[in-house]
Amino acid sequence: MEYVIEMLNIRKEFPGIVANDNITLQLKKGEIHALLGENGAGKSTLMNVLFGLYQPEKGEIKVKGKSVKITNPNIANDLGIGMVHQHFMLVDPFTVTENIILGMEPKKGLTVNMKKAEKDVKEISDRYGLRVDPSAKIADISVGMQQRVEILKTLYRGAEILIFDEPTAVLTPQEIKELTQIFRTLISEGKSIVLITHKLKEIIEVCDRVTVIRKGVGIDTLDVQGTTPNDLASLMVGREVLFKTEKTAADPKEPVLEIEKLHVKDSRGITAVKDLDLTVRAGEIVGIAGVDGNGQSELIEAITGLKKVTSGSIKLNGKELSQLKPRKITESGVGHIPQDRHKHGLVLDFPIGDNMVLQTYYQSPYSKGSILNNKEINKQAKKLIAEFDVRTPSEFTEARALSGGNQQKAIIGREVDRDPDLLIAAQPTRGLDVGAIEFIHQRLIDQRDKGKAVLLISFELDEVINVSDKIAVIYEGRIVAIVDPKETTEQELGLLMAGSKRKGAGEEANV
Amino acid sequence: MKKRKFGLGLSMLLAAGTILGACGSDTETSNGGEENGGGEEAAGDFTVSMVTDVGGVDDKSFNQSAWEGLQAFGAEHGLEQGTDGYNYFQSQGDADYTTNLNTAVRNDFDLIFGIGFLLQPAIEQVAQQRADSHFALVDSVAEGDNVASITFKEHEGSFLVGVAAGLQTETNKIGFIGGVESDLINKFAAGFKAGVEAVNPDATVDIQFAGDFNNASRGQQMAAAMYGSGVDIVYHAAGGTGNGVFTEAKNLKQQDPERQIFVIGVDRDQSEEGALEAGGQPYNVTLTSMIKRVDIAVQDISTRAMEGDFPGGEIIEYGIEENGIAVAQSENLTEDTLAQIETYKQQILDGEIEVPSTLQ
Amino acid sequence: MSSRLQAILVPVISVLLGLIAGAIVMLVSGFNPIEGYGALLRGAFGDTFYIGETIRQITPYIFAGLAVAFAFRTGLFNIGVEGQLLVGWIASVWVGLAFDLPKFIHLPMAVLAGAAAGAIWGFVPGFLKARLRVHEVIVTIMMNYIALHLVNYLVRYVISDEQNTTVAVPPSASLKSPFLENLTDFSTLHNGIFLALAAAIIFWVVLEKTTTGFELRSVGFNQHASEYAGMNVNRNIVLSMVISGAFAGLGGAMEGLGTFGYGFIHGAFSGVGFDGIAVALLGGNVAIGVILAAALFGTLKVGALNMPIESGVPTELVEIVIALIIFFVASSYIIRYLLNRYKKGAK
C-alpha cells in the first residue's frame, strides 16, 4: 500500500520541553487515520510541523514517497495538504464564497469573478455532499456549517490530504453524524484524512488506523478493527481507565437552588428563558440536557448574576439571589465552571497563580488591607496545581500557555476548592481527553458526596447520563421533562430535547 | 573675561543711551565699531544670536523679520552664520526658551535676542542668572540691567493708516479687528482711531476683537458683518485671524468689482494678500499696510551693542523717527492721501501731534 | 528566546533602527550623522547644565508616560493626557497663587490640586465610557481642546489681570530648587524629578501589589472574566481614567510649579501628552520601562536643540529622526517577527 504522507522520526523541541520525540506517522491513501493523545501530548505540534508552521529539529517528511521540506503553509498547500482548524478562521461578515476564495480569487480583469467563484464552490459542495449555501453570510450559518466552509476552503485549494483538528468538539450530536458521512464521501472521492482527536468512540466508528502518542512520544500505530475503547484509552493514558464513572446512589437532602418562574432575555432582548422552574438539592447532581441555544447559557448567567433577571426568583438556601451582583452571589456560595473558559473562566494573560484567586484575591489570606500577598497566592496556586494535576511549568506561567485541559483543570480546582454549596458546571469536559474527563467527573461526584448541590450543563448526552442523578431536559427556555438517568435512553432524551416526538423536528432545530 | 569688563562699562554708559539712540541710525556704519573700544569689539569678534518663539524663522511674521535683520547685520559686518558670527535657536515648545537662551549664553554670544513677548519670563530669569550676558527682548518689556526691551510705537503707524482710511472712506464707516484685547493691540486701535478722527470727524470706527490670533474663519465672519453694515475699510491687527478678513474682502470684490472694499494690513506689507482678479481685471483690496520693522530694530540694537552702546535696562521704542514704523507704498493710496500722510508724519516727528497709545 | 529578553530587545532594537534610519536621512541630506549625534549627546549631557535640562525634560515625560501606561494596562487609550496635563498645570499654579501658607502645607496642596484637576479631567471620559459606552479616544481628544481654551481663559481673565502669563508662584508653593540649579549651572532642574520617580514607584505598587491593581489589570486583559469573577468593570474603567488623569495632572503641576513656575496662555498643545503615548509604548507600559523611555525622549528633545547650532542639522531633520524612532517602536511587531524568524533560522 502506498503512503501519501510519511512523517519519520520527527522531533520538535520548545524551550524547556520536547513536544515531539521520535514520532512516526504514516498515512495511507484513502484512509482515515486517527491521531490519538491526551491534551498536550503533542498532536497539534506534530500536525503543525506537517502544515509548515513549525520546523522539526530532526526527522524527515515524505509526500508520495518524495522527501520534502515544508517551511511554510503555502508549501503545504501546494503539496495538497489542507487543515481544518479547531478554531475557525473565517471572516464573519463575508459570504461563504468570499471566505473560500479569500487569497486566491478568480479574476475577471481587475475585479473578482464572483459568478465563477460561486459556481465552483457550489460544484465542490455538491460533489462532497456538503450542502452549503455559497451566498450565505458566515455570521448567519450554524457552527456545523461553518466547519463545512473550512472543509470547502481546503478542497477549493486542491487538498488531497485533510487534517481535522478536533472537529467534533464544537458540534451537536446530529452534526457529528453528518460530519461522519462527509468523511466517508471524501474518502470515496480519493482523499485521505488525518483526524486529531481524543474521543475514542469516534475513532472506533470512523477510523481505519490509529497512531497513539503520549507525552510527546509515539506509542503505537494499530488497526482500529479489533481494538476496544478500553485498549485505546489505556494506550493513551498509560493506565487503566474507568469508563462508567463509579458512584453510589444519590442521597438528596434539602433544596439548595430553587428557581421559580424565571424569565431571562438574551443579549438581543429576546426572551431566552421562559417560566422556568428548577430545584437542585444538596447531595445531588442535576444534569441539564438540551440542544445548544435553548436557554442554557442565559439560565447560568442569570443564576450567577451576569445577566439581569426579567422576572421570577432564584433562591440559594432560601436566600434570594436574583437582584444581587456577581460578587455577592459568589460569596453566598455559588461556584461556576463557565462554558467558555477563555472568555469567562480565565484571564489568559495572567499567570496561573493569579487566576487561581480570581474571585478571592481581596480576601484573607491573599491580601491584607488592600495589599496583595503574593506568597499566599502562589502557595494556594501550588497547592491546587498539585491537587488537580494541572500540568504547567510553574504557577508563574501565563494561563495562555497551558493546554485546554490543563486550563480547565485549573478552573475546576479554583471553583471546587472554594467548596461552594452550589457548583455550576457548564460543559466542563468540552474538548478534553478521557483522562481529564474521568478526573473532572470524579470531582463533581465528590462534591455531591460532600453534600453539595451540583448543576451540570452539557451537550454530550453520555456525560449527562453518566454523571447526573437527575436529568432536566431544556427546550426553548423551559424545563420540559425531568427524567431518571437510570431509566432513560439517548434516544428518548434526543426526542425530548428536540421538543417533539417526531425525529425530524430535532434536526431542523439544529440548523 | 573681556565681556564682563565691558558689560560693567556699558551699563554705566546707559544714561546717555537714550539720546544717542536717536542718532543711532545715522552712525550705523561698520566704521563706528572700529572706532569704538580700541578694537576689542570689532566686527570680527562680535557675535549675536536670537531665540525664536514657537513660530520659527520662516513664520512670515516677526521671527522671520528678526532673522532677516540679523542676516543683514551679518552681511554688513562680514559675519558668518554659526557660533562665531550670528545664529538663531529655534524653540519647539515653551519649555525650550530657557534652554535655548542658556545654550546661547554658553556659546558666548555677545548679544542674545528673544523674539516675542512669550519669551519675557524666560529672558528675565536667564538674564538674572547670567548677569554678564546681554539680552534684548522684542515686543515686550523685561526687567534687568542687562536686558534691552524693544517695543514699537504701533500707535504712530496706526495713526497714519488711520489718516489714509479717514480720507479714502466713501461710507464714513471704518472697521478695526484686533486679535486679542490687550495693551499691545489697544495701541493699534487707539492710534488708528485718532488718525481717522484727525482727518474725518464724521467717520466712525467700529472696534472689535476676535479673541484669537489664529482663527481665520472667525476673522472672515467678523469682516463679513462689518462690510455688511456699510464699512468699506477694515484695519486688522490680528495675525492669522486677519487672513480671514482678506478672504472676505476679496470675495466681496469678486462679486462686485465696482464696490470699494479695502483692508489695511499689518506688521509687513500685505499687498500680496489682497491681490485678486475679477472679470479679467487685476484688483488689490489692500489699501496699505502698517509696517513694523523688527529687522531694523534688531539690526540697530546689534550695531549699538557692537559699538559698546548696549542699552541694557532700557526700553527702546521704535517709531516713525527710528524707521521702525512705516506705511507701505500702495497704488490704492491717492496723491492727496500720500501728501496728507506725509504732512501728519512730519507733525508727529516734530512733536506737534501726540498720538494716544491707549483707548479712552 | 525568553519573552523577558524579547521585551527588552524589541524596544532597544527599535531605537537603534530609528537612529540608523535617522543617520541615513542625515547622510542623504548632506550632513554628517556622527557629528549630528555627537552634537545631540553633547547637547544632552555635555556638561552639568545640559544634564540638568535633560533631567528636567524627563520629569513631565515620566508623568505623561505613566498616565498613558496606566490607562493602557486597563485596556483604555488615554489620548487626553495633554489636556489633563494642562488643567493640572493651571490648577497647581492657581493654588500656588491663591494661598499664603507655610511651604510644608502649601506645596503639597498645590501639587495635589494638579493631580485632582487631572483626575477630574480623566473622570469625564471614564464615566462616559462606563455608563454610555462612548469611546474614550473621542472624548479625551475633545477634552484636550476644552482644556486648552479653558486654561487660556483662566490665565487671562481669572488668574491674571488680562496678561499673557500669571505671576510666578511664591517660593512656598514652588518646586524650584536653588540647590539643584546651582549644581547644574542654572538649569531649570527642579525637585519634580524626585516626585516623578516616586510616582513611578506608586504606579508599580498600585498595579502589581494591590487588590485594586489586580482588578484593573484583570479588567484590562479580559472584561468578561473580570465580570465573572465579581469585579465591577465599570467602576474600574472610571478608576483607571481617574488615576491616569491624576498622573497627567501631576505632570502639569511639575511644569507649573517647577519648570516654569507660572501659567501662561498656550497657543497650541505642548506635545508632552502626545509624546507620553510613545513613551508608554516604548516602555512596555511598565514603570521602569516608562522611566527609561522618558529618559530617552528627554535626551532626544533637549539634545536636539544643540544639533542645529553645533552640526548644522536643521531642527526639522531632528524631528524626523525622533519620529522615525517612534515609528519603529510603534511597529515593533515587525521586529518581533524578525526576531522570531532569526530564532527559527538559528536552530
Q: What percent of chain A has pLDDT over 90?
A: 37
- At B24 the pLDDT is 37
Phi-psi region of A64 (alpha: psi -120 to 50; beta: other; left: phi over 0): left
Residue B119 has what DSSP assignment?
Answer: G
- Kindly state whether A59 is in contact with chain C, defined as any CB-CB distance less than 8 angstroms: no
Contact assignment for C262 to B106 by CB distance below 8 Å: no
pLDDT mean over A12-33: 86
- At B221 the pLDDT is 93
**Phi and psi torsions of B91, nearest 5°:** -95, 130
Task: Please report residues of C whose CB lies closer than 8 A to that of A349.
Answer: 221-222
Which has more pLDDT, A505 or B354?
Answer: B354
Provide CATH code, domain B2-152+293-318: 3.40.50.2300
Phi-psi region of C318 (alpha: psi -120 to 50; beta: other; left: phi over 0): alpha
- At A351 the pLDDT is 93
State the pairing for strand pair A255-265/A192-197. Answer: unpaired
Is residue B97 a contact partner of residue B51, using CB atoms and an 8 Å limit?
Answer: yes
pLDDT mean over A143-162: 89
Q: What is the grid cell recorded at A209?
A: 488506523
Query: A144-172 b/e with 16+ CB inside 10 Å = b?
Result: bbbbbbbbbbbbbbebbbbbbbbbbbbbb
Distance from CA of C223 to the nearest CA of A (A): 8
Distance from CA of C57 to the nearest CA of B (A): 8
Q: What is the grid cell recorded at A39?
A: 491534551
Contact assignment for C228 to A304 by CB distance below 8 Å: yes
Domain end, chosen from A401, A419, A437, is at A419
Q: Which amino acid makes up residue B63?
A: N
Across the interface, which of B83, B94, B99 has its CB nearest the CB of C305? B99
Contact assignment for C49 to B117 by CB distance below 8 Å: no
Is residue C325 a contact partner of residue C300, using CB atoms and an 8 Å limit?
Answer: yes
- What is the rounded CA–CA span in Å between residue A424 and residue A450? 15
Task: Please report residues of C whose CB lies closer than 8 A to that of A372.
Answer: 209-211, 213-214
The owner of cell 461578515 is A93
Q: Are residues A10 and A98 in the same domain?
A: yes
Let me know if chains A and B touch, i.e. at least 3 Cβ pairs under 8 angstroms.
no
SS3 A229: helix
Burial of B16 (0-12, 13-18, 19+ CB in 10 A): exposed
Across the interface, which of A331, A347, A362 has its CB nearest the CB of C222? A347
pLDDT tens by residue, A32-51: 999 988 777 788 889 889 98
Contact assignment for C315 to B92 by CB distance below 8 Å: yes
Please choose, from the candidates C262, C259, C244, the residue with its C-alpha nearest in 3D space to the C-alpha of residue C55: C259
Across the interface, which of C156, C270, C302 has its CB nearest the CB of B99? C302
Is residue C224 a contact partner of residue C136, using CB atoms and an 8 Å limit?
Answer: no
- At B191 the pLDDT is 95
- Which whole-number Å values give the CA distances from A436 to A37, A404, A465, B159, B164, in the listed order? 12, 10, 18, 94, 97
Across the interface, which of C211, C222, C226 has its CB nearest the CB of A362? C211
Is residue A338 a contact partner of residue A344, using CB atoms and an 8 Å limit?
Answer: yes
Q: Are residues A251 and A269 in the same domain?
A: yes
Task: Please report residues of C whose CB lies closer than 8 A to that of B106.
Answer: 49
- At B44 the pLDDT is 60
Which has more pLDDT, C32 or C9?
Answer: C32
Provide CATH code, domain C32-312: 1.10.3470
Please, which chains are in contact with C (at least 3 CB pairs closer than 8 A)?
A: A, B
Which of A178-187, B173-182, C82-91, C223-232 tops mean pLDDT? C82-91
Contact assignment for B94 to C270 by CB distance below 8 Å: yes
The per-residue pLDDT of chain A, averaged, comes to 86
Please, which chains are in contact with A (at least 3 CB pairs closer than 8 A)?
A: C
Q: What is the grid cell recorded at C14?
A: 527599535
The owner of cell 480565565 is A346
- At A242 the pLDDT is 61
- At B133 the pLDDT is 92
Please choose, from the candidates B67, B113, B131, the residue with its C-alpha nearest in 3D space to the C-alpha of residue B305: B113
- What is the rounded CA–CA span in Å between residue C84 and residue C270? 12
pLDDT over threshold 60, residue A508: no
- Kindly state whether C84 is in contact with chain B, defined as any CB-CB distance less than 8 angstroms: no
Q: Are residues A109 and A194 in the same domain?
A: yes
- At A361 the pLDDT is 93
Please choose, from the candidates B272, B275, B280, the residue with its C-alpha nearest in 3D space to the C-alpha of residue B250: B275
Distance from CA of C274 to the nearest CA of A (A): 27
- At A1 the pLDDT is 57
SS3 B84: coil
- What is the rounded CA–CA span in Å between residue A379 and residue A252? 35
Please choose, from the candidates A291, A327, A296, A293, the residue with its C-alpha nearest in 3D space to the C-alpha of residue A461: A291
For C212, nearest residue in chain A (alpha carbons): A370
For B94, nearest residue in chain C (alpha carbons): C270
Q: What percent of chain C has pLDDT over 70?
A: 95
Range of lowest pLDDT (A199-213, A232-246, A315-329) = A232-246
Which domain does A58 fall in, by range?
3-237
Task: Please report residues of C whose CB lies closer than 8 A to that of B130.
Answer: 186
Range of lowest pLDDT (A237-246, A406-415, B191-200, C190-199) = A237-246
Is residue A239 a contact partner of residue A285, using CB atoms and an 8 Å limit?
Answer: no
The owner of cell 487588590 is C211
State the pairing for strand pair A192-197/A309-316. Answer: unpaired
Spell out the residues 6+ positions from residue C201 whose beta carbon is closer than 8 angstroms to its own: C287
State the pairing for strand pair B286-292/B262-267. Answer: parallel
Domain boundaries, chain B: 2-152+293-318, 154-292+324-349
Distance from CA of A362 to the nearest CA of C (A): 6
- At A507 the pLDDT is 41
Q: pLDDT tier at A394 (50, 70, 90 boundaries)?
A: confident
- At B33 the pLDDT is 37
pLDDT over threshold 90, residue A291: no
Q: Are residues A375 and A295 in the same domain?
A: no
Q: How many CB pairs under 8 A join B and C?
A: 68
Q: pLDDT tier at A506 (50, 70, 90 boundaries)?
A: very low
Enumerate residue ranges in chain B where pLDDT < 50.
1-42
- At A245 the pLDDT is 66
Which has more pLDDT, C338 or C156?
Answer: C156
- At C2 the pLDDT is 60
pLDDT tens by residue, C106-162: 999 999 999 999 999 999 999 999 999 999 999 999 999 999 989 989 998 899 887
SS3 A230: helix
Is residue A93 a contact partner of residue A137, using CB atoms and an 8 Å limit?
Answer: yes
- Kindly state whether A367 is in contact with chain C, defined as any CB-CB distance less than 8 angstroms: yes
- At B95 the pLDDT is 84
Task: Please report residues of C whose CB lies closer than 8 A to that of B107.
Answer: 309
Provide CATH code, domain B154-292+324-349: 3.40.50.2300
Task: Say how many domains are in chain A.
Answer: 3
The DSSP code sequence of B8-65 is HHHHHHHHHHHHHHHHTTTT-SHHHHHHGGGGTT-TTT--EEEE--TT-TTSSSHHHH
- Kindly state whether B128 is in contact with chain C, defined as any CB-CB distance less than 8 angstroms: no
The owner of cell 479687528 is B177
Q: What is the grid cell recorded at A372?
A: 496583595
pTM, to two decimals: 0.76
CATH code: domain of residue A166: 3.40.50.300
pLDDT mean over A441-465: 90
> What's the alpha-carbon Rg for chain B, to the nearest Å?
21
Torsion B322-B325-B331-B334 (CA) sign: negative
- Kindly state whether A349 is in contact with chain C, defined as any CB-CB distance less than 8 angstroms: yes
Contact assignment for C305 to B83 by CB distance below 8 Å: no
Spell out the residues 6+ positions from residue A14 whose beta carbon is closer than 8 angstroms to its own: none
Distance from CA of B94 to the nearest CA of C (A): 7
SS3 B69: helix
Contact assignment for B103 to C43 by CB distance below 8 Å: yes
Q: Are residues A324 and A360 in the same domain?
A: no
Range of lowest pLDDT (A341-345, B33-37, B146-150, C45-49) = B33-37
Let me know if chains C and A touch, i.e. at least 3 Cβ pairs under 8 angstroms.
yes
Domains B2-152+293-318 and B154-292+324-349 in one fold: yes
Q: What is the grid cell recorded at C226?
A: 473580570
- At B13 the pLDDT is 39
Q: Are residues A212 and A83 in the same domain?
A: yes
Contact assignment for B129 to C186 by CB distance below 8 Å: yes
For C2, nearest residue in chain A (alpha carbons): A15
